[in-house]
Structure 1
Amino acid sequence: MSDVVTLQGYLGTWAAEDDTRKAVAAAVERMAQAGVAIADMVARGPLAEHFARIRGEDANAAGDAQKELDVIAEEAIVSALKAAPVAFLGSEESETPIPLNAAGTLVVAVDPLDGSSNIDTNVSIGTIYSVLPYSAEAFPDPVEALKQKGTAQLASGFLVYGPSTLLVSTVGAGTQVFVLDRASGDFILARATVEVPAATKEYGINQSNIRHWAAPMRAYIEDCLAGKDGPRGKDFNMRWVGSMVADAFRIFTRGGVYLYPGDSRKGYGEGRLRLIYEANPVAFLVEQAQGAATDGKTRILDIVPQKLHQRIPLVFGSREEVEKIASYY
């Protein structure tokens, strides 16, 4: 077992004596630690029935129904990051940035519990995070620090709470997968280099909404459905979990493309996923794994956030298919 590489060991080697990298490594390690605590809570399932309960009549800062475990997950992350050089935490669950360490050189954006609507159905859910540089001089308002373009990210990742607890991580040196070893409590490197296949015959979308989509998205899906007899000349499979971290991990494992377009329904015109908390971190991971991520046309990492809880359409996965989708617009 001498060749086992832990998350701490991997990050320590990557960071070496660089102060910025050491700060990033500390933040990622603390996010992983929070993930262990959240995974334990998720694993209680029906034994903690109140976790799936919606909190009153209120929605979270992003306008979604807020469950008890959403809030508990955020609290676990806040507690963990207090031991890292993180000045502020931006969370999908909170209206404004949460202050942590005044001397911190980083800000972190999180979706504490992605896919929480699936808690009571025992579907894999997860935590998504993004790490960005910060200084009080450059960003007197911490909101502006969180609104940096995706290209400014120093690290990003997501945890999946499923049959195993996984961390998909990048610090800008490719994308790696770590798995939680319950015996030791360590995250162990399982895949040192993740590469999303460039081509695919698999797509993931909630096709029941096809009547609400704009013409380019409808045309793309209709061409896929036509299979080898249509203009694409090949048959496609469709996969859709409805929990983005689960759908994303499938794509990191075997390729494919994920689509969550905007549509004509009230509140869906600009998409439903958050640019800062979901799209940017996943886009960074995908690009580091040789894939691509767009809003249908424009590279996600080039989009300047205008609002803290801004929503956006999202397409990511196998590069050739993402580029093909853009050609429909």
Structure 2
Amino acid sequence: MSMNGQSGAVGQENINTNIVTLTRYLNEEQTKYSEATGDFTLLCHALQFSFKSIAYYIRRASLINLSGLAGSANSTGDDQKKLDVIGNDLFIAAMRSCGRVRILVSEEEEEAIEFPAGPNAKYAVACDPIDGSSNLDAGVSVGTIFGIYKLSDDAKGTKEDLLRPGTDLVAAGFTMYGASAQLVMTMKGGPVNGFTMDDNLGEFILTHPDMRMPKKRSIYSCNEGNSKYWDVATREWCDTIKNAEKPYSARYIGSMVADAYRTLLYGGIFAYPADSKTPKGKLRILYECGPMAMIFEQAGGQAVDSNMARMLTVVPESIHDRSGIFLGSYDEVQLVIDIHKKHGISV
């Protein structure tokens, strides 16, 4: 109490009692559709548990000896961290137990995991349980990327059911585990919403509703250490933005989720192009490029591959198929498209 009898700062604090949690948001969205069965909502609740569990173990990794390598490699040849294995196991258990998933594709598994067919198992999930795990021991932000497909009534429940373009995605999102756990999620035709994990409540809270990207921003994010392997069009694009009247600012973390989240919030462009060393590109279409492209498009941006094809139209040839990618603010990606078109690279 102050000397004049008025309440101090604590007394004036506004407390929000109308908190929108992810659970509440999903339940309210479900009520908007009379044909909704609740299956998708239950699947999302299972995903949410995976994100919370992974966030917990990442924060405690150094304390309970979860740093370092597990002594194995994943499906794409990358050395597995101990947390890669734990994150993958958490995903498998959650997707199996929810009873709504028929097929799960994980970066950590060479083959798709096929769960027993059930009357409610109508979905397929593709995920990278811990993207950027090579940065874990340095405390750099890492994340989870996921995409959800709905299976057709005549689906066989095999990996071939996921060899589809990103335009077929019914939902996509990612969680970033940094200073706080941030979840970004979108459903087909809907807004992109951002949630922040409140550790005290144990809930993801809606903090960034209807995220929209700036149409243009002078920030670029790419690994220029690979520039000697780039094609002439990609090198020209990079030289153009570095030598602009007001040169672009370079911001590169080396963890796709962290770079993408910053780009989504502030605008700019993230690029991981194919090159002569990796002609198909480095990032996986099914559980990295496709979900991210859906998020960025629905937030007002663009995403294309190294052939300048709209990323969401690219069909993977295998469940771990790779691609180059440019994604970000609409005008920034358009500049990439225009420069490549000048060099005869266009769709």
The TM-score with structure 1 as length reference comes to 0.93
Q: Distance in 2 between matches of 1:36 and 1:294?
A: 31
Aligned partner (choices 181, 188, 192) of residue 165 of structure 1:
181
Shift in Å at residue 141 of structure 1? 4.9
- Say if 2:265 is the partner of 1:253: yes
Aligned partner (choices 212, 216, 231) of residue 199 of structure 1:
216
| Contact 1:85/1:101 (<8 A) preserved | no
Aligned partner (choices 33, 55, 75) of residue 71 of structure 2:
55
SS in structure 1 at match of 2:50 = helix
Spell out the pairing of 1:109-120 with structure 2 (5 A cutoff). Answer: 109-120=126-137
| Contact 2:114/2:157 (<8 A) preserved | no
Q: Distance in 2 between matches of 1:76 and 1:63?
A: 21
Q: Distance in 2 between matches of 1:124 and 1:313?
A: 22
Of 99-108 and 193-202, more deviation after overlay is shown by 99-108
Q: Distance in 1 between matches of 2:171 and 2:47?
A: 11
Shift in Å at residue 63 of structure 1? 2.2
Spell out the pairing of 1:300-315 with structure 2 (5 A cutoff). Answer: 300-315=311-326
- Say if 2:230 is the partner of 1:213: yes
| Contact 1:30/1:84 (<8 A) preserved | no
Q: Distance in 1 between matches of 2:305 and 2:283?
A: 11
Q: Distance in 2 between matches of 1:111 and 1:146?
A: 15
Amino acid at match of 2:286: I
Aligned partner (choices 153, 158, 161) of residue 142 of structure 1:
158
1:20–1:107 Cα change, 3 Å: farther
Q: Distance in 2 between matches of 1:6 and 1:63?
A: 38
Q: Distance in 1 between matches of 2:140 and 2:78?
A: 18
SS in structure 2 at match of 1:264 = coil
- Say if 2:339 is the partner of 1:328: yes
- Say if 2:151 is the partner of 1:151: no
SS in structure 1 at match of 2:44 = helix
SS in structure 2 at match of 1:112 = strand
Corresponding residue for 2:85?
71
| Contact 2:293/2:303 (<8 A) preserved | yes
Aligned partner (choices 15, 30, 37) of residue 30 of structure 2:
15
| Contact 2:123/2:150 (<8 A) preserved | yes
Of 310-319 and 23-32, more deviation after overlay is shown by 23-32
Unaligned runs of 5+ in 1: 229-233
Q: Distance in 2 between matches of 1:163 and 1:45?
A: 15
Corresponding residue for 2:4?
none
- Say if 2:44 is the partner of 1:28: yes
How many equivalent residue pairs? 319
Q: Distance in 1 between matches of 2:233 and 2:56?
A: 43
Amino acid at match of 1:72: I
Corresponding residue for 1:284?
294
Shift in Å at residue 20 of structure 1? 5.1
Larger radius of gyration: 2
| Contact 1:160/1:166 (<8 A) preserved | yes
| Contact 1:38/1:73 (<8 A) preserved | yes
Aligned partner (choices 274, 278, 283) of residue 284 of structure 2:
274
Corresponding residue for 2:94?
80
Shift in Å at residue 11 of structure 1? 1.0
Amino acid at match of 1:64: D
| Contact 2:213/2:264 (<8 A) preserved | yes
1:290–1:50 Cα change, 3 Å: same
Q: Distance in 2 between matches of 1:94 and 1:19?
A: 34
- Say if 2:91 is the partner of 1:95: no
| Contact 2:101/2:122 (<8 A) preserved | yes
Q: Distance in 1 between matches of 2:157 and 2:171?
A: 21
| Contact 1:45/1:122 (<8 A) preserved | no
1:294–1:118 Cα change, 3 Å: same
Aligned partner (choices 11, 24, 41) of residue 57 of structure 2:
41
1:99–1:20 Cα change, 3 Å: farther
- Percent of residue pairs bearing the same amino acid type: 34
Amino acid at match of 1:251: T
Corresponding residue for 1:231?
none
1:306–1:120 Cα change, 3 Å: same
| Contact 2:104/2:124 (<8 A) preserved | yes
Amino acid at match of 1:306: E
Shift in Å at residue 3 of structure 1? 2.3
Shift in Å at residue 138 of structure 1? 2.8
Amino acid at match of 2:88: E
- Say if 2:199 is the partner of 1:177: no
